[in-house]
Structures are given as structure tokens and as C-alpha cells.
Structure 1
Amino acid sequence: MTDPTADLLPQGLEDRLPASARALTAARRAVLDTMDGWGYDRVIPPLVEFEASMAQRMGDGRASGAATRRMFRFTDPASLRTLALRSDMTAQVGRIAATSLAHAPRPLRLCYAGETATIASDQLDPARQRLQLGAELVGSDGVAAAAEMVGLAVEALGAAGARGVSVDFTLPDLVDTLAAEAFPLAPERIDAVRRELDSKDAGALRDVGGKAYLPLLYAAGPFDEAVERLAAIDAGGALASRIAGLREIAAKAGGKARLTLDPTERHGFEYQSWFGFTLYAEGVRGTLGRGGTYRIGGSDEAATGFTLYIDPLVDALGAAPAGDLLYLPLGHDTETGARMRAVGWRTLAALGDGEDPVLLGCTHRLDGGEARPL
């Protein structure tokens, strides 16, 4: 008896059929072309690496432990060491920058694209395999680097077809900065204050000793208004440089995207340093990417970068049209077929009598060395 489940795919994995695959390929190419235009050189890390190496590059022990538990792991029969299937490519690019390209001039601009997989999906996104694209500016985490990353990310999404792009800024180390002096906190209270700020729970924030942090809850919204509310908080100048940086980054965005500010947002920014941003687009559910400043795990070199996950964008845009397809009948001149492909035609060569070129999706037929509409 035939097993009806034999061809089922695992949860969170799916095939992309021709129209969908065509759309994703076009969007991927557009993003990579944009990055190339900004001077970012592409690197292609391997799909599998030693787990220990990946863990080292993913941050501190707690962070790396959580990250590696999300990766498929297995034993390498050659070395008998544990291998991991990548769940994120950023750490791999950091390894390349710190090893093979350690002596390359800084700032070093790299970009990448590849598939990633995780053991389990998160609650908001059921996918366990995703196309990840990104850019990393290694050797700089200042305002100029952050502004370049925001500009590049917005332009790349636009090239991929996104409309109405919005960028939400955040300050991942805000609590640590204020707790050091302006709004002192005992070390054991810092995580609790971060948590309640993230959940926007004013009552709980008071309960954990974060009363002084309450004004931060209201410094969120459209950028111009939110940054003014943030600047009005009397923090003894502790936030002055960060606010100036935010304003400069926003000014350089030049009206190319809608800008918002949520200075206490931490979800997805646990390992960023002073600046982070999230990317959205009209008609697309959820986030399309995140970026910010950070330190490369293992080498502690300053860097700024972003990651894009464009599958939801492609799904929202719908299938890409196939375009014109030229039917090459039996006995056609092969040199003519090659010439037609050289000038941009997609061709489909006949394999036998009785074929219906229209049924096969062709829009034109080669006739006398010319393309004739069907």
C-alpha cells in the first residue's frame, strides 16, 4: 500500500514552484546588485561548520548556547567533531573578517546571501528555512557607518520591490548607559528593568525599581516627536551623544523611508551595542530585517551590519510573470537560437512533433530567423 505521507515535507519547510522561485531569485539578485553598487564584496561561507567555532562567534556563553541549540547538529565522520548547519550567516562573515581577511584594509565591506535552517520556528514565523541576505561593515561602528547601513538597507529593499519602507530605531544599551550613573540600578535589577521596558509595562517597571525609567516608555513613535521626548529626559547628558547620533542618521536617511523610534526595544537586539534598527514595508507582515552596531564574537572588532529575510516580501508581492518565451521548432538553426538568447530571449527548443508551444507557455515562435507572436 502506498504511504500517503511519503512526499510530505517537514513542518516549516516548503517548495518554491517556478513562479515563486522566479520572484525570489529576482529579488535576491536585486538586493545583491544594490550591495555591489555600494562597494560591498560578496563572500560565500560554507553551509556547515564546526559547532564550537560558530558558538564562539555568536557572542558570550549564554548567547551562543541559546543559538547553537536552534541549529541542526551532527558528527563529522572525518574529524569526529560536532558539526552544525548554520542558522545565521552573520557569525560566519565575522569569522571570515577575523581570519582570512584579518589583514584586509578597514573599513571592510562584505555582503552575503544563502539559505539558513533552524530546528524550531519562532511563534511569529513558522518557517524553519529562510533565505538570508546581509551586509557587514567591519572596522567601524560610528554614526557614519550606521547611517550607511540604514541607507543601503532601505535601497536594497526598494530594489527588491518593497514599498513604503519604514525603519524603527532603537538604543540597545540604553539601560546599561543610564544605570551606570544617571539612573543608578543595582546589577541584579538591570535585566528586570530591561524586561519591563521591553514589555511596556509601567506598573511592573515601578515594581522592579525602575521608576526613573518610566519616561522612556513615552519616548516612542514617529521619529521627530519621539527623539524630542527622549532629549527632554534629564539624564545629566548621558544620552546626548546617542541622541545626536540618531538625529544625524535620520537626517542622512533623507526622507527615503518612514522613521520611528522605540529606544527601549530589545527583542532581536540582545547583542547589538549602541544602535539598532528594524525594517518593515507596507503590505508585508512582520519584520523584513534588523541591523545595528556590534562587536564581532571572538575578535571583539567593531562592526555595523544588517540582515534581510525577503521571503515574506516575495510572498506579499506575488508570483513574478514568466516573460516572453521563444519556441524553437524542430530543425531550427542552432546559431540563430544562440543569437536570440544572447540578445535576451528565453528559448524553448522542440523535442518532437505534436508539441503545442502555447500550452508549453511560449509567447513567440522562431520563424525565418525572426520571433513571431503566437
Structure 2
Amino acid sequence: MTIAPGLLPEGLRDRLPPEAEAASRLMHRVIVAIGRHGYERVSPPLAEFEESLVGRLKSSRPQDLLRMVDPVSQRMLALRPDMTAQIGRIAATRMGHAPRPLRLAYGGPVIKLRATQLRPERELAQAGAELIGSDSVAAVSEIIRVALDALKAAGVTDITVDLTLPDLVDTLAGDALPVDPADVARVRALLDAKDAGGLSAVGADAYLPLLSAAGPLDRALPRLRTLDQAQVLDTRLSAIETIAASIGDDVALTLDPTERHGFEYQSWIGFSLFGGGLAGEIGRGGSYTIVHGDGQEETAVGFSLFIDPLVDIGLGVEPVRRVFLPIGHDAARAAALRAEGWTTVAALAASDKPHTCTHQLEGSELVELP
């Protein structure tokens, strides 16, 4: 079967002007904002040996990767669906000797095996930061503030941070709200799906109040404290209060303590990021552990942002300042204009027209085009 000219695989697309330039500009702004906090950029390859990508994070699975056989080594390669595992590899190997906490930033394309309804694209531009060597309250507070600064630098407004407790069920099931170990995974899934009937069916009625302990943080946190009669979560909830205080009141804070989807490898805390005019989350992060080659685990906290949704709503596009340079134009004047930030388009023939330009150079003067 012949493929039609210009047809791309499902979930892949071309970025045309001006969106392609906007995407590049937004990536730069985000990386610069992250770097201002002391995070140094690394750039891992698009593909790695499959076992490297799978082994670094506990929840990584081969079936989630787009794989191929390397014709050189004859070993299985995989395209990265996320850059976090690669940063973990770099931190554990190439930079294993570096003092902790280690602050690293990254940006580049990732490839998903399958798309979702909310995000039909399979190729995404991802940027983020990882703080390796600590998942303390101070580390989490810092990483969220860095994420917020990055989003603001990209022009995102009306930001919401939705906090979650990925290991909540595991913490409660051991003592405060006992659950048969064989049923813990099912209870987690039912809470994630907000399935009250399912919880009752498996005898986990004690977990039903958790479904109502969600919403704006100033209301959800007191509800969760009321439910925590055994004070098993006291330290955790106090940590959230400290984190909230460090973020400030210029963003909205919400809490969904039972949210698990997308937080499979996070440990004690996770968060999703939302912005005005944007459908769905535009980033997520949280605490996790990196598995070293010797089996030892190292704590870390980080976040990833998705650039494409920002481009899709028009962020990163700047006013066009393009000058048409006719045949025989003043080259020195044109160079000076470029140094001032203008874009110049030189005629290659006398018949060329200033189709995409806003101004034309006539002698040494700029003339605005209608």
C-alpha cells in the first residue's frame, strides 16, 4: 500500500511557522528560568538500551516503550517516553561522584508508544528539573517553586498546583485502616477511580471518606486531618502545610489525596500543574527513588513540563518584525537592523516581493508596509 505524500504516523505532526519558532522560544525560556535556580542542563540521547530505561525507575515497563533492534549491537533499543529515567541514569553513573543534592535540568523530545484522548500527540517536547539526593520538604518546596517560575516565564497564568499522596493507601493499610495485603492494589485503583461502590464491595468502607477529602487545600486538608484519627498522616500533612506556605498565595492549591494515575513511581508526594486556558495538566512531578546498579536506592524529587499545549494556545508567538531588503540594499544598514533584533529577508531577484514582511528598507530608511 502506497503512503500518501505528506502523511505522518498517527500522533506525529509537523510544526510550521510561527508555531515552530514559538516552541523553540518557550523551551528556551523554561530552561533559562530553571537554570536561574542552579539547575545545570544535561542532554541525554533520544534512544537507549531498553534495560537502561526500564531499570532506573520502579514503574517503568518494556511494554510502554517504542522499541527496535540496534543494527550495530543487535540489542534492543527504546525511544524515551520520558526523560526522568535518563536523568536518573546520568546521576547514578556519569555523575555518581558529584556532591548531593545534585540539580539537573533538561529539555527535548519524547516519544510515547500510545496517545491518550486528552493528549493525542505521541511526540512531545518535554522540559524539567530533577533534584537528586533529597526528597525532603525543603527539596519539594524548591522544586515546585522552580516549576512555577518556569511556567510564569513561559507566559502561563492562573496556575493551579494539585497535590496528591501516592503512597497514602500503603501508609494507612498497614495499621490505621487495615487492608489485606492482597487487596491493597485493588483499593488503590478503586480510590483512583473514585469508585465508592467498588470500595464497599471489597469491604473497604473505611476508605470512603477519603473520596470527599479533595478540593481546595484550605478545605481538603482539615477534612483529611479529621479522618486521620490515629495521626498516621500527621507528619505528612504538616509537610504539605509547610510546602503550601512556601509557595505563596499567587497560585491556587488543591489536594486530591487518592490520585494515582500517572504517579506510579512517585513516593510520598506528587503534584500536577494546570494553567488558565489550557485543557488538562501541563506538567507533573513529585518525589521518587532512583535505583542504582548495585540495587541501592537514592531519593529524588523533580518535575516535567509539556511545551506543546503552551504553543497550541498561542504562547511564545512574538510580533513579526521582518524587513524586506531589495536588490542593491545597504548591507551595513541591514546588519545593523539584525543586531537590533529585526529579521531581514533579502531579495534574490528584482521580481521578489515582500510577502511576509512588515517593513522595507529604502536607502537607509525603514518604510512600513501596508
Please indicate the TM-score interval, normalised by the length of the shorter structure: over 0.9
Match of 2:344 in 1: 347
Tell which deviates more after alignment, 326-335 or 48-57. Answer: 326-335
Q: Aligned match of 2:231 in 227, 237, 243?
A: 237
Equivalences for 1:87-166 in 2 at 5 Å? 87-166=81-160
- Deviation track 1:207-258 (CA, whole Å, cap 9, x = no partner) reads 2121222221111111000001011113422101100010011111111211
Q: Aligned match of 2:326 in 325, 329, 338?
A: 329
**Per the alignment, do residues 362 and 123 of structure 1 end up closer, same or farther by CA in structure 2, a change over 3 Å counting?**
closer
Contact 1:19–1:319 (CA under 8 A) maintained in structure 2: no
Tell which deviates more after alignment, 41-50 or 26-35. Answer: 26-35
Q: Aligned match of 2:217 in 215, 223, 237?
A: 223
Equivalent AA in structure 2 for residue 21 of structure 1: A
Residue aligned with 2:43, SS = coil
Match of 1:364 in 2: 359
Contact 2:143–2:301 (CA under 8 A) maintained in structure 1: yes
Using the TM superposition, give the Cα deviation of residue 80 of structure 1 relative to its aligned residue in structure 2, in angstroms: 1.2
Whether 1:312 and 2:306 are equivalent positions in the alignment is no
Equivalent AA in structure 1 for residue 191 of structure 2: L
Q: Distance in 2 between matches of 1:188 and 1:114?
A: 40
Residue aligned with 2:334, SS = helix
Q: Distance in 2 between matches of 1:195 and 1:69?
A: 20
Q: Distance in 2 between matches of 1:342 and 1:210?
A: 67
The alignment-based identity, stated in percent, is: 50
Q: Distance in 2 between matches of 1:164 and 1:317?
A: 16
Equivalences for 1:58-97 in 2 at 5 Å? 58-59=57-58, 63-65=59-61, 68-97=62-91
Contact 2:269–2:287 (CA under 8 A) maintained in structure 1: yes
Whether 1:255 and 2:240 are equivalent positions in the alignment is no
Aligned residues: 366
Q: Distance in 2 between matches of 1:278 and 1:353?
A: 55
Show structure 1 runs of 5+ residues with no match: none
Contact 2:326–2:350 (CA under 8 A) maintained in structure 1: no
Q: Distance in 2 between matches of 1:77 and 1:371?
A: 56
- Deviation track 1:124-178 (CA, whole Å, cap 9, x = no partner) reads 3211111111110111101111111111112211221212111110000111111
Contact 2:165–2:268 (CA under 8 A) maintained in structure 1: yes
Tell which deviates more after alignment, 107-116 or 21-30. Answer: 21-30
Residue aligned with 2:313, SS = helix
Match of 2:22 in 1: 23
Contact 1:280–1:288 (CA under 8 A) maintained in structure 2: yes
Using the TM superposition, give the Cα deviation of residue 3 of structure 1 relative to its aligned residue in structure 2, in angstroms: 5.9
Match of 1:48 in 2: 47
Contact 1:193–1:209 (CA under 8 A) maintained in structure 2: no
Using the TM superposition, give the Cα deviation of residue 22 of structure 1 relative to its aligned residue in structure 2, in angstroms: 2.1
Q: Distance in 1 between matches of 2:40 and 2:136?
A: 21
TM (norm. structure 2) is 0.94
Q: Distance in 2 between matches of 1:72 and 1:162?
A: 31
Show structure 2 runs of 5+ residues with no match: none
Residue aligned with 1:301, SS = strand
Q: Distance in 1 between matches of 2:65 and 2:333?
A: 50
**Per the alignment, do residues 319 and 148 of structure 1 end up closer, same or farther by CA in structure 2, a change over 3 Å counting?**
closer
Contact 1:48–1:85 (CA under 8 A) maintained in structure 2: yes
Q: Distance in 1 between matches of 2:189 and 2:105?
A: 33
Equivalent AA in structure 1 for residue 281 of structure 2: T
Match of 2:200 in 1: 206
Contact 1:183–1:235 (CA under 8 A) maintained in structure 2: no
Equivalent AA in structure 1 for residue 15 of structure 2: R
Q: Aligned match of 2:168 in 162, 168, 174?
A: 174
Equivalent AA in structure 2 for residue 29 of structure 1: H
Contact 2:167–2:268 (CA under 8 A) maintained in structure 1: yes
Residue aligned with 1:353, SS = coil
Q: Distance in 1 between matches of 2:166 and 2:15?
A: 36
